[in-house]
Structure 1
Amino acid sequence: MRGQRHVPWFNPRQMNDATVLALSTGRSALLAELLQTIEQRSTHPGQISHWLITGPRGAGKSYFLRLLQVTLKQEPLPKVQLVLLPEELPNIFAPHELLAEISRLLAPSAQHAGTPSRWRVDNTGQLWDEALAQLLSRIQAPLLVVGIENFDALIAQAFSSDVDNSRLRHLMSNEPRLMFVATAVQGDFDEQHNQRLFRQFDHRSLPHWTPIDHRHYLDKRAKQQGSTATTQQLNRIDAYSRYTGGNARAGAVLAATILDVNDPLNGADDLDAAIEKMSDHYRALIARIPDNTKKLFDALVRGGEPASQTELAERTGARQSDISRAFAWLVDNGYVNESREPGQKTKHYRVLDRLLVQFYRMRYLHPGQRSRLAVMADLLADTLNFADKGQFVSRNATQAVVWHELDITLAQAPGHETEVISQLGDAVADAAMHDSPANAFALGLDILQGLAARPHLPAEAALRGLWIDMIEMAVPWGVMRDLLGEWPQLWPEAEHNQVHQLKEVLLAWLTKLEAVQTGDTSYQDPNDPDLVTTLTALEQALSPKTRHRLGLLQPAASERT
C-alpha cells in the first residue's frame, strides 16, 4: 500500500505504475494525440515523425514520459516497443554511445550495466554504423519508440559537430522503425535553419495546470491516501492555484501540503511547507540561470514586480539594448511571463511561479526570517483575484481564508496594516485587466467588506493607501468611483466622519486625474484651497512614472526620445 501512496517529487521513475495512472492530471488530451501518432507510425512506415515536448522545469515532462510508458504497458499497441532512457545520460559523449544505450535497454534481462564512455573516440563513422546495426537487430516490432529526456543537453554533449548532427538527421529522416519522443526545456536547437537538425521534430508544449487541474489533483491525491478531500481543502487549492504559475510540480507539492496541514485556514503554513519541500528544486532553478541573466532576475524580484525591461535596465545600470538578449532567456525558459497595463504598449514582466519568488525573498532578501508579512502580502495580491472563484468557492469561504491570514499577519507585524492592505489594489487591477471591470468591482467590494468588519484596523489610512495603489496600477476610473459609492453603507457618515471626508477628497481627486489624463480643458481646480493642497499632497504620493502616465508631469528629454 505504501508503494501506491509514495509520490517522489522529482523522480517519477520511482513511482508505482498504479500511482502514475491514478494521479495523472491535465495530460489526457496530449497523451491521446501522441498515442494516435504512434499508432499511425506503426501502421504507416512511410510517415516518419518525431515528437519534442517542451516546458519549463517542473512542468511534468518526466512524468509525461513515465505516463506514456505505463499506458503502453497497460494497453499495449501490438506493433510498438518502447524504451525509456534514464533522465540523465552521464555516460554518453559520442553519437554511437546513444545507440548502444538504447540497445542495452532493449535487452534488460542481460543485466548489463552498460559501457563507460571512451576517453578518445576514433573511427566515429564505423562505430556509428556498428552500433546502429546492433540496435536495428534488437528491435522486435515494426516501431520502436524511444523516450529521451533533456534532448537539448544530449545534443550539446554528444552531437557537437555538424558531421554528428548529419548522422542523427539521416537516421531520424530515413529509419521508419524508430521514433523519438524527446523532451527539453525549449526546442530552439530544432528551429535554426542553418543547423542540421532543423525541423526534425513536431513540437508540443506541456500545458500549464489550470485551477481545475489543481482541484482534480488534490481530489485524486486524497483518494490515493484513502480519504476524501474536504470542501475547505478544495477551497484552499482553489485560492492558491494561481500561486504555482501552473507548474505541475509546485501544484502537486502544494496539494500534498494542504492535505498534511490540519488548520484549514492557515494558508501561510501551507506555503511555508510547500516552499520547504521545493527548496532544492528552486536552488537548482536559480543556479542554472546564466550570470548576466541572474542579475536581471534578482533585479526583478528585489526591485518589485511587474517591471518593464527599461526599468530593469535602469535598476542594473544598463541600457535596454544591453539586457534584451540576457532577459530573453528568462522568457524562453518559462521563468517570467509578460503582460500589458490597460491602454499601454509597454510590456511588463513578472515571475510566473510565485512560490519561487517567496523562496528567493526568504532565502536571499530576508535570510533567516520567516517573512510572513512578505508571504501574505503577495498571497493576498495573487490569490484574491482568480476569475473562477465563484465556480467552486463561495465569497464568504474565500474571505474567511484571506482575512484570517491577514489577521495573523498584522498581529505578528504591527504597524504594517496600511502597507499590506494597500497592496490589495494590485489584485483589483489584475482582475480588471484579465477578467472584467465587474469582477474588479466585486473583488474590491470583498476587500472593503473585510476591512469594515475589522474596526480595530486604521480604516482611513488603509483606504487612502488602497486608492493610491489602485491609481498606480491603472484600475479603471469607473471601478474606483463605484467602490467609493459603497463606503456610506460600510462606514456610515454619522459614525465615521473622517472616512466620509476622505471619500469626498478621493472623488474630487479622481475627477481631476481623469480630466488631466483625457485632456479635458473644461476642468477647473476646486475653489477650496485646503482641498487643492490635499490633492497636491496625494499626487506627490504617486510614483513619477504614474504622474507621467496621467499627464501630471512632463517626461524628461531622455524618456521622450
Structure 2
Amino acid sequence: MSRERLIETFNTHRMSAEVVQAVATARELELAEAMQAVRRAAEQPRQTAQHLIVYGERGSGKSFLMRLIEIEIERLVQKENWLIVSALLPEEQYNIRSAPQLIQAIAAKVRGEVWSFAMDFRPLAEAWEAAITELEAALDQRFGPGLGRVVAMVENFDTLTRNLFGSGVAARKKTASARAIEQNAAEQLLRKLMNRKDSRLMLIASATGTVDQDYERPLFQAFKTIDLRIWTSDDCIAYFNHRRALERQATLSPQEEARARAIAEFIGGNPRLAQLLGEVLATPDARSIAATLDALSDHLADYYRHRLDDLPPQSAALLDALIRKGEPCTQTELAARVNASSQAQIADAFSYLLSSRLLAAGSDKTGAGKLYRLRDRLFVHFYRRRYGEPEQALGLAPIAELLESFFAQREREEQVRRHLEAGEWADARLYALNSPLMCLPSDGFCGYRDGTATGTPGELFRLVGCSPDAAIDAQTELKLHSELSIKRWRDAANCADTGLRRTAALLLEAISLSRCQMDDQAEKVLEEALGRAEMDGDQDSRILVLHNMAVFTCHRRKDPSKVLELSAQIGTLAGKTRNDVVRVIALCSKAWHLSTVEIGHYPEAVDVYDEAAELASKVGSPHLQARALRGKAYSLNQLKRYDEAALLAKQSLDLATAAGMIHNQIEALIYLYSALSKLDQHELALESAQTAYELAVKIRDVDRQVAALTMIGFARSNLGQHELTLESAQTAYELAVKIGDVDRQAVALDLKGWKLAKLGRIDEASDVFDMAFDAAKSGSLPQGLIFILKNQANSLRWKKSERTLILARDILTQTSDVISKDALWTARRIFFEAATRAHAPDVVEMFEICLAEVTTEENTHPLADMLAKVLAAVTYNDLWDELAACLSRHPQTPIFSRTWRPFSEIGRVWSAQVKANGRAQTYAAIARQLPAIVQLIEWLPLEIDLESLEDKTLSQLHSSELINGLLNHCDDAGFLQDIAELLKEGFGKKAEAEIQRLQAFAEVHAASDKEAVLQRLDPNLAHAIRRIWGFPEPDDLLMRKGRRKGR
C-alpha cells in the first residue's frame, strides 16, 4: 500500500464519491437510520429536525459514515429535488472558537465557500443573531426566501463542544467566571436553535465521548444516538473484496480469507486498521508482516496517543496493568494488579474501558468469571514497543498472536522450517503456540518409525559419512532435540560432496521435521530429495528416498495403497544399485511388496528375503539382516510353514539381542508370537508377547506397547483367561488413544467386545463394538470394519440385530468402494441376516443393488447363497409387494434358478413373529404376504432338476420349505391350524399333502397323549414328527416298559 493510500485512510473527505461507495462495508443499517431522519427533515421542513450523534471509538469509521451521508444526500437531491443541502465541515475545527463561528462555518459551506477565522469582539447574543441571519441568507440565496434546510455534519463534536461550551461544571459554581457563564449561554443558544420548529438546521455530529448525557447541561438528550458497530471477520473479508474489485484484482482466496479473519481478530474489528493492514494479506513472510506492523504502529503513534489521552487516569492505569502483566485476566485479578482492595474500587474506570469498547470479554474455562483482553491487538503492539519491556519488542515475539492465526498449519510449518534451517530457534517456536514443537515417542532417531535401535548408527548416518561415534551423537540430538537437527542436516546437504550423501542428509532433515510434528514439511523435503535424485539419474539415491517415502507414508500418512505403490517402484530398481547397503534396502522393500496380501507371491518373497539377509550379513548391517529374517518368517507364516517361521523369528531375535537392537527384538517377538499362535503353543506365544511389551515399555515405544498388549490379549483369550483378556484389551485401547492410532484402537475394542460377549455382558459388548466400528471408520484399514461387523454379529448371536443392521448399512453405503468384493458380500450377508430380526425398510433396495451385479449365471453364487435370508428379511419387514415390483424390473435374473430352498427361512420368521407379536397380528401379516409368495413361486423358472424332487412339483417343493420352517420352529398348535387353513386357500390342491402334514403336526402339538395321535398317523409322517421333536420310536417305548416291568 502506498503512502498516499495511508493518508487517504485518515482523510476520507478527499476520497471521491465513487471510491467511497465502492469500498463501503457494513454500514448499511447506520446509513439507513441517518437517511430516514434526513428524509423526514426534507419532507417536513416546518417540523423540528431529528438531530443525530454518531458514536464510535477512533478509527471506527465515523468520518466515512459522514461522507456516505453526504454522498447519499447529494444523490437524493438530484433524484427527488429535495430542498436540502449538506454541509460537511472539515474533520478538525481548530479555527472555530465560538458558537457563532460554528454557524458561520456552516453558512460558508452552504454558499460553497471556505470559511476562515476572523476576530469578533461583539457580545455573544449579537454575534449569534448575526450568524443565524447569515445562515438564513445563505439558504435563501440557494433555495429562495424561507425555503431549504441545511444538514450540517460536524465531526469530533465532543472535542468541539468542550472548547466552545466548557465542562459545564464551572458554570454551575456560585463563583463561575464570566467566560464559563458565556459558554453556558452559548450552549443554550445552540439547543434553542436545534429545538425551534422553524429552524432550518439539522445537525449530524460524531464523537468518541458522550456529548448529551449530562442532565444539567442544555444539550442533554438533544440527539438520537447511532452507534457504529464493530466489524466482524466477515465484514473485513467483504471490505477487502470491495477494495480488490476497485483495484481490479481477484477476490480473496480461501487462504487469504483465513488471513483476513486473523487480521479482524488482531485489530478488534476496527475499520481503519483493516484498511491499513490490507496489504499484508498476500505477505508470505513473517518478518515482512512484523516490519509492516512496526511501520503502522509508528504511523499510528499520534492516533494511539490520542486514544490514551482520551482515557481518564484510572482507566489508563488499568490498561497499563492489563498489557504489562499479561492478558487475559479477570476483573478481580486486574484490581489486585493495581493494589485495589476490591473490584468496586476500579468499577468506574473499568466500565469506561468497556463502554469505550477497548476490551473484549471471553469466558473463563474455570468458571471464575470473564477474562478480558485489549480488543485492538495493534494497539497492544504499539504499547509494548513504546512503553513495554525491551525484550517484548525483539524479533517476532511482538506479533506472535497474529502469526498463530494468520498462517495456516502448512504455512506455519514452512515458516518454522525456514527459521530452524537458519538456526533462529526462538522465532521458530513462536509459530507453535497451540501445538508446540516436540519430539515424537520413538526408540530410535526416526519419528516415522524406522527400525534403527537406540545407540546404534543407522544406515542414513552411515551413508551421510558419520563415524560410529559421531553417528551416536547425531542420533541422540535427533532424538532429543530434533529442532536443532534440522539446521545440521540442511547444512550437511548443501555441503555434501556426493549425491548419495546429500540424499542421506535431506532424509535426516525430513525425519527431524517429522519428529517436530511438521509432516507436511517433511514430505516436501522428501519430494525435494527425490527430484534431485531423478535429475541426477542417481538410482541409489532414488531407492533410498522411495524407501523413506514408503516408511513415512505407512506410519505418518496411514496410506497402505500408496506404500504398496512405492514399494513396487523400489522393486523395479533393486537390480540397478551400486551401493550394497542401498541394495539390501531395495531387496527388503521388493520382498515386502511381494508378501503383501494384495500381491501374495510368498514363495518368491522368501527367495528375495534370503538374498537380502545374505547381503546384509556381508555388509555388516545386523539391523537389515534381522529385518530380512523377520520378513522371511512372515512369508513362511503365510505359507502355513509355521515351524520354519518360528525358527527364523528366533534367529532374528537372537541377532537383534546380540547387537542390542531393542526395536528389532520387539519386531522379532511379534513374528514369533504369530507363528507360535498358529502352532497352538499359546503359553509360549503369551510369553513372547509379554517380553515384547516389557521391551517396548523400556524404550517408551507406545506404538509397540499397544501392539504387544493386543497380542497378550489374544493369547490370554486362547488360554481362557477372560478377565485378564479384558484388562489387556482396555490398556491397549487407552494407549492407542494416547498416540492417536485409531486402527489399533479398533482392534483393541474389537477384542474387548468379543470377550464381553463371551462373558454374557451383551449390552456392554454392543456398546464397545460400536466404539470399535467408529474407530475403524476413521482409520486407514477399511477391511477392519468387516471383521468387527462379523465379530459383533456372531459373538452377540444376533441379540443386537438393530445395531448390526446399522453397522452393516454403514459399510454398504459409505465404504463399498474401498473394500474388497468378498468383504462387500460378507457385509451384505450380515445385513440380510440381521434384517430377518430387525426393522429394515431398505431390504428390497439393497437386494436390487445386488441384482444389478449378478447379470450372468457365473456371478450369481454370492447372492444365491443368501437368497433365503433375503426372502426371510422381506417377510420380517412385510415388503413382499415391494419385492414383486423389484423382480418385475429384473425379469431375466437367473438368481432363483441357481438357488436351492430359497423359501426355507420364511417359516422361522413367522414362528418368531407369532411369539413376539401374537397370533392375530402375525396371521394378518401372513395373509397379506401369501398372495405375493404364491405368485413368486408360480413365476419361478423351471431350470431346477425336478427328477431329484421325488415326484414333487416345484410349487410343492417351495410350499414344503415354508411348512418345514414352521414345523421346525413353531410349537403353537392353534396357530399352526390357522396357518394350515390359510395355506390351503393360497396353494389349493397343489400343496394338499404338505398342508395335511402341517395339520398333523398341529394335532400332535395339541394332544395331551401325543403317542396315541402319532400311532394313528401315516408311519412315515409319524417317524418324521418323532425325528423333528425328539419323540422316542415305538420300539424304544416297548423296551423301556419292559425294563420297568422287569424291575
Confirm or deny a common fold (TM above 0.5): yes
Q: Which range is displaced more, 367-376 or 416-425?
A: 416-425
Q: CA deviation at 1:368?
A: 8.5
Q: Tell whether 2:158 aligns with 1:157.
A: no
Aligned counterparts, 1:266-277, within 5 A: 268=290, 271-272=293-294, 274-277=296-299
Q: Normalised by the size of structure 1, how large is the TM-score?
A: 0.67
Q: CA deviation at 1:115?
A: 2.8
Cα distance in 1 for residues equivalent to 2:212 and 2:384: 36
Q: 1:421 to 1:44 in 2, by over 3 A?
A: same
Q: 1:4 to 1:420 in 2, by over 3 A?
A: closer
Cα distance in 2 for residues equivalent to 1:357 and 1:242: 13
Match of 1:145 in 2: 151
Q: 1:19 to 1:321 in 2, by over 3 A?
A: same
Match of 1:364 in 2: 387
Q: Tell whether 2:230 aligns with 1:208.
A: yes
Q: Which range is displaced more, 100-109 or 490-499?
A: 490-499
Cα distance in 2 for residues equivalent to 1:295 and 1:92: 33
- Structure with larger Rg: 2
Higher helix share: 2
Which SS does the other structure have where 2:53 is aligned? strand
1:124-147 per-position Cα deviation (integer Å, ceiling 9, x unaligned): 122212211221222235321000
Q: 1:163 to 1:279 in 2, by over 3 A?
A: closer
Q: CA deviation at 1:203?
A: 0.5
Match of 1:114 in 2: 116
Aligned counterparts, 1:86-485, within 5 A: 86-109=90-113, 113-118=115-120, 123-139=123-139, 140=143, 141-160=147-166, 161-174=183-196, 175-187=198-210, 189-231=211-253, 232-258=255-281, 261=283, 268=290, 271-272=293-294, 274-319=296-341, 320-342=343-365, 344=367, 346-367=369-390, 371-380=394-403, 383=405, 398-407=408-417, 413-414=424-425, 421=432, 454-457=513-516
Question: Which residue type is aligned with residue 102 of structure 2?
Answer: L
Q: 1:499 to 1:294 in 2, by over 3 A?
A: farther
1:404-455 per-position Cα deviation (integer Å, ceiling 9, x unaligned): 4455566665268778745579xxxxxxxxxxxxxxxxxxxxxxxxxx9943
Which SS does the other structure have where 1:328 is aligned? helix
Q: CA deviation at 1:149?
A: 0.5
Which SS does the other structure have where 2:279 is aligned? helix
Q: CA deviation at 1:237?
A: 1.5
Which SS does the other structure have where 1:87 is aligned? coil
Answer yes or no: is the 8 Å Cα contact 2:397–2:427 preserved in 1.
no
Q: Which range is displaced more, 16-25 or 273-282?
A: 273-282
Cα distance in 2 for residues equivalent to 1:345 and 1:128: 58
Q: Which has the higher contact order (CA 8 A, sep 6+)?
A: 1
Question: Which residue type is aligned with residue 116 of structure 1?
Answer: A
Which SS does the other structure have where 2:86 is aligned? strand
Match of 1:64 in 2: 65
1:320-375 per-position Cα deviation (integer Å, ceiling 9, x unaligned): 44333333332232222333424736343211111111222233324487534423
Q: 1:265 to 1:418 in 2, by over 3 A?
A: closer
Cα distance in 2 for residues equivalent to 1:278 and 1:181: 27
Q: 1:117 to 1:331 in 2, by over 3 A?
A: farther
Match of 1:438 in 2: none
Cα distance in 2 for residues equivalent to 1:369 and 1:292: 24
- Identify unmatched segments of 5+ residues in structure 1: 385-396, 426-451, 460-488, 508-561
Match of 2:9 in 1: 9
Q: CA deviation at 1:21?
A: 1.6
- Number of corresponding residues: 433
Cα distance in 1 for residues equivalent to 2:3 and 2:430: 47
Q: Tell whether 2:35 aligns with 1:41.
A: no
- Identify unmatched segments of 5+ residues in structure 2: 167-182, 437-510, 519-554, 559-692, 706-733, 739-1047
Q: 1:195 to 1:412 in 2, by over 3 A?
A: farther
Cα distance in 2 for residues equivalent to 1:233 and 1:276: 25
Question: Which residue type is aligned with residue 33 of structure 1?
Answer: E
Q: Normalised by the size of structure 2, how large is the TM-score?
A: 0.38
Q: CA deviation at 1:64?
A: 1.1
Identity %: 28
Cα distance in 1 for residues equivalent to 2:284 and 2:430: 29
Which SS does the other structure have where 1:102 is aligned? helix
Answer yes or no: is the 8 Å Cα contact 2:149–2:202 preserved in 1.
yes
Q: 1:102 to 1:341 in 2, by over 3 A?
A: same
Q: What RMSD in Å do the two structures reach over aligned CA positions?
A: 3.9
Q: 1:272 to 1:115 in 2, by over 3 A?
A: closer
Answer yes or no: is the 8 Å Cα contact 1:53–1:61 preserved in 2.
yes
Which SS does the other structure have where 2:85 is aligned? strand
Cα distance in 2 for residues equivalent to 1:9 and 1:197: 31
Which SS does the other structure have where 2:87 is aligned? strand
Q: Which range is displaced more, 364-373 or 68-77?
A: 364-373
Question: Which residue type is aligned with residue 134 of structure 2?
Answer: Q
Which SS does the other structure have where 2:8 is aligned? coil
1:86-117 per-position Cα deviation (integer Å, ceiling 9, x unaligned): 111112232212111111222234x5x42335
Answer yes or no: is the 8 Å Cα contact 2:96–2:102 preserved in 1.
yes
Cα distance in 1 for residues equivalent to 2:186 and 2:60: 30
Q: 1:356 to 1:126 in 2, by over 3 A?
A: same
Q: Which range is displaced more, 371-380 or 40-49?
A: 371-380
Cα distance in 1 for residues equivalent to 2:109 and 2:9: 25
Q: CA deviation at 1:74?
A: 3.9
Match of 2:24 in 1: 24
Which SS does the other structure have where 2:425 is aligned? coil
Cα distance in 2 for residues equivalent to 1:379 and 1:205: 28
Cα distance in 1 for residues equivalent to 2:287 and 2:425: 21
